[in-house]
Amino acid sequence: MASDASEMLRALGIESVEDLFADIPAAVRSDALDLEPGLSEQEVVARVTSILSANRTMADMPTFLGGGVYDHFVPASVRAITSRSEFYSAYTPYQAELSQGLLQTLWEYQSIICELTGMDGANTSMYDASTALGEAALMARRIRPGATFVVPRALRWHRKSVLANYAIGAGLRIREVEYDRETGMLDLAELREGATPDVCGVYVENPNFFGRFEEQLEDIRAATDAVLVVGINPLAQAIVRPPGDFGADIVIGEGQALGSSVNFGGPLLGIFACRQEHIRKMPGRVIGLTRDAKGRRAFSMTLQTREQHIRREKAMSNICTNETLLAVAATAYVAVLGSHGLRKLAAENAERAKELAAAIGRIAGLVAPHFKGDHFNEFTVRAARGYEAVHQALLERGVHGGLPLKRHLPELADVALFATTERHTAEDRRRLLQALEAAA
C-alpha cells in the first residue's frame, strides 16, 4: 500500500479499505481471484514476447493474403504521430476547448475521406468495414422505405454474417446478386431483376471481393432508385474515380490500408461517408467546423442529437467508442504520402498485381487471374489440381499462399485470392513462383 493511502484512510475515519466494501453482501463475496501472482514489468515483457514468438510474421514468411486487410509499409513518421500520448491517451473529445488538436486532425480525416470518395461528410470511424456495411444498410432503411437490402453474393463471408446481425433490428431481408462467371463483376441482369420497389439499398464493391475493378458503377446506379452504397479500398481510390461521381449515396470501406498494420485483424478502421442530404441520418461521431467565443476557427463534435447518449433507444447507432486512433493514423499517412505518393503507390500495387498474376498464369496447371479484366492489388488464382494441396505445399516451403475461397463460394473450391503490395520483394515473388511451380 502506498504511504498516501494510510493518510486517506485516516481522513475517511476508517481502519481499512475493506470498510469501503462492507456493503457488498457476504452471499456474493468471492474468494481471492484464481490467478497467478503479479509479475514485474520485465517478466511480463519476457513472457508475452516469448508466447508471441511462436507466430510466423509476414516478414518471416512471404505472405500473399489480403481479403480486406493489407500489409503496406507504414512510414515511421506515422507511428511517431500516433505515439504522441496526447493523442493516444485522450478520451473522446467531448470537451472541445481542451481537444482542438485532435478535433482538427479528425476533421482533416473526414475531409480526406470525402476527397477520396467524392462524398460530403464522413464520420470519424466505424469498427471495421463489416460493421460499416451493417450500419449502411440500417441507414439506407432510414433514408428510404423498403425492407430488402441487396448485396453481391461474392462477398467475404464475415461481412455477410455481420450484416445479417445488424439487419435484425430493422427487419431487413438480404437479397444476394450473382457475379458474372467470366468477369467476376456483378451480374447486371440479375441486379435489374432484383431491384424491386421493396429494395431500400444496394451495396456493391469496387474493387470487388475478387480484387477486380467493378466497371459497371454507372449501370448499377441506373438500375435502381434505391440508396446506393459503395464499398471501397481507400488506397485504390487514389487512382479510381470516386463513387460520388457515379451517384453513390453512402461510401464505406476498410481503412486499415491507410497507415495501420494488419494486427491479426484488429483494430481496423471502418470508413463511412455520405452525401450532404443524408448527413443527419449518418451513424457515429462527427466533427464540425465552428467558432470560439473570440471568433476564431474551432472544431467540435457535432450532430450529437443523433447519438446514443442523447437519443438513447432512438439513436442512429449505439456506437460510442470507435477507432479514432486509426483515423489519426490514416490522416498522418495520407499527409506523409501526399496525393502524388498515394497515386504512385496505388499504381505500383496495381502494376505488381498484374505482373504477378501474369507470372503465375504462365505456370502449368494454374490460371491467373481466374476472372478476366483489370484488378487492383489482388486477384484470383485457379489450380487445376485443386487449391488445397497447393496451399499446403506452399506452407511447407515457407510461403503463405492466398485465401482459399471454398468457405465463401463453394463453386470456387479450386480458387484462391492472392494479394500483393509494395512490401513484397523480388525474392518474395521468386520464392512464391518457385513454390507454385513445384506444387502445381
Partner 1 sequence: MSFRQAFYDEPLLFEKRSDRVDDVDLTDLVPRKLRRDRLDLPNLAEHKVVRHFTRLSQMTFGIDSGLYPLGSCTMKFNPKFAEELAALPTVARIHPDQDESTVQGALRLLYELQVLLGKIAGMDEVTLQPPAGAHGEFTGLLLARAYHRDRGEERTEVVLPDTAHGTNFASAGMLGFRVVEIPSKEGRVDLRALEAAVGGRTLAFMLTNTNTLGIFEERVLEIADIVHDVGALLYYDGANLNAIMGKTSPGRMNFDIVHFNLHKTFSTPHGGGGPGAGPVGVKAALAPYLPVPAIVRSESRYHLDYERPKSIGKVRAWYGNFALLVRAYAYILRHGRDGLAEVSERAVLNANYLMKRLEGVLEVPFPGPRKHEFVASGAILTRGGVRTADLAKRLMDYGFHPPTVYFPHLIEEALMIEPSETETQETLDAFADALMQIAKEPAEVLKAAPHTTAVARVDEVLAAREPILSWRMAHRRAGPARA
Of the candidate spans 71-79, 140-148, 197-205, 358-366, the one that interacts with partner 1 by CB under 8 A turns out to be 71-79
Q: How near is the Cβ of 29 to partner 1 at its closest, in Å?
A: 6
C-alpha cell at 86: 496526447
Question: Please, which residues bridge with residue 190 across strands?
Answer: none
The contact mask relative to partner 1 for 102-141 (x = CB under 8 A, - = no) is x-xxxxx-xxxxxxx---xxx-xx-xxxxx------x---
Q: Are 242 and 116 in contact (CB under 8 A)?
A: yes
Nearer to partner 1, 136 or 332 (CB): 332
Of the residues 181, 311, 362, 430, which one makes contact with partner 1 according to CB under 8 A: 311
Q: How near is the Cβ of 198 to partner 1 at its closest, in Å?
A: 18
Q: Are 151 and 288 in contact (CB under 8 A)?
A: no
Nearer to partner 1, 267 or 386 (CB): 267
- Under rule CB under 8 A, which residues in 150-179 are in contact with partner 1? 156-159, 161-162, 164-166, 168-171
Nearer to partner 1, 130 or 194 (CB): 130
Of the residues 151, 229, 250, 286, which one makes contact with partner 1 according to CB under 8 A: 286
| 30 scored as a contact of partner 1 (CB under 8 A) | yes
- Under rule CB under 8 A, which residues in 418-437 are in contact with partner 1? none
| 372 scored as a contact of partner 1 (CB under 8 A) | no
Distances (CA, A) of 348 to 335, 344, 357, 368: 19, 6, 14, 19
Question: What distance in Å separates the CA atoms of residue 412 and residue 403, rounded to the nearest whole number?
Answer: 11
Tell me which DSSP letter residue 22 carries.
Answer: T
Q: How near is the Cβ of 364 to partner 1 at its closest, in Å?
A: 25
Of the residues 222, 351, 372, 425, which one makes contact with partner 1 according to CB under 8 A: 351
| 147 scored as a contact of partner 1 (CB under 8 A) | no
Size of the site for partner 1 (CB under 8 A): 195
Nearer to partner 1, 19 or 193 (CB): 19
| 359 scored as a contact of partner 1 (CB under 8 A) | no
| 393 scored as a contact of partner 1 (CB under 8 A) | no
- Which strands form 378-383's sheet, in the order they lie side by side? 366-367, 378-383, 415-419, 403-404
Question: What distance in Å separates the CA atoms of residue 74 and residue 95, rounded to the nearest whole number?
Answer: 31
Q: How near is the Cβ of 388 to partner 1 at its closest, in Å?
A: 12
3-class SS of residue 423: coil
Nearer to partner 1, 24 or 384 (CB): 24
Of the residues 196, 318, 425, 434, which one makes contact with partner 1 according to CB under 8 A: 318
| 79 scored as a contact of partner 1 (CB under 8 A) | yes
Query: Residue 170, exposed/middle/buried by CB under 10 A (0-12, 13-18, 19+)?
Result: middle
Question: What distance in Å separates the CA atoms of residue 242 and residue 118, rounded to the nearest whole number?
Answer: 5
| 73 scored as a contact of partner 1 (CB under 8 A) | no
Neighbours of 142 (CB within 10 A): 16
- Under rule CB under 8 A, which residues in 202-221 are in contact with partner 1? 206, 213, 215, 217-218
Name residue, grid cell 435489374.
192
Question: What distance in Å separates the CA atoms of residue 250 and residue 201, rounded to the nearest whole number?
Answer: 10
Q: What is the dihedral of CA 196, 197, 201, 207, to 10 degrees?
A: 30
159's CB contacts (< 8 A; 6+ apart) are 129, 130, 133
